[in-house]
Amino acid sequence: MNYLKLIFTAALVSAFLPLSAAHADPSDNWDIMTNPLGLILGVNANLQYKISDQMTIGPNLTLISVNINDFKMNGFGIGVSSDYYFDQAFKTGWYMSGGLGFDSFGLSYTDSDNNHFSQNVSNFSVKALGGYKWFWGHSFNLTLGLGLAGNFPSQSSVTSDNGKQTKSVPLSGIGLAGDASIGWTF
């Protein structure tokens, strides 16, 4: 049984060894990425420009528009982030990232008695995370990262259709931040 575990482990390691040497074309200076799960809610993109052998910087954009029955959510987010690669930019390996962002979202809901409720919130955030980036071929890449984000939102309150505030929702704090995106270098 131990031999079977050893063979399985060796096969698994050797399957990923070719990925460790993969990298984008050395002449590539741009990487555009998106979170595939985020595309369910709307458009999200992160564009990175290589400013040195180990560092990139670029803008982030999120546009959300969801309408499901009586529930509506709309909003946008903009920001800037910078990635530091421990080995080389656009090469398979470890990286760390930092960023600043601003988001503004609105939610609205109409209940079965035709009462309308809405909530709006704006948020300024600071994030820091680390992770690993894989490259296949000379362009396609996958990024997985985890870290922390500090959120500094405006006060959020739920209001009814007559303008009456029904509930104040305090928001703030530090939470988990993640990155799960696919991208293309050029």
12: confidence class by pLDDT, cuts 50, 70, 90: very low
Gyration radius of the chain's alpha carbons: 21
Q: Given this structure, which CATH class describes domain 2-185? A: mainly beta
Looking at the chain, the whole-number percentage of residues with pLDDT higher than 90 is 60
Cα torsion at 36, 151, 67, 163 (round to 10°)? 180
Determine the residue type at 15: A
The whole model's pTM is what? 0.77
Selection from 64, 46, 25, 28 nearest residue 143 by Cα? 46
Average pLDDT over residues 161-178: 75
pLDDT of 164 reads: 67
Q: How far is 79 from 67, CA to CA, in rounded Å?
A: 25
- How far apart (Å, rounded) are the C-alpha atoms in residues 57 and 46? 10
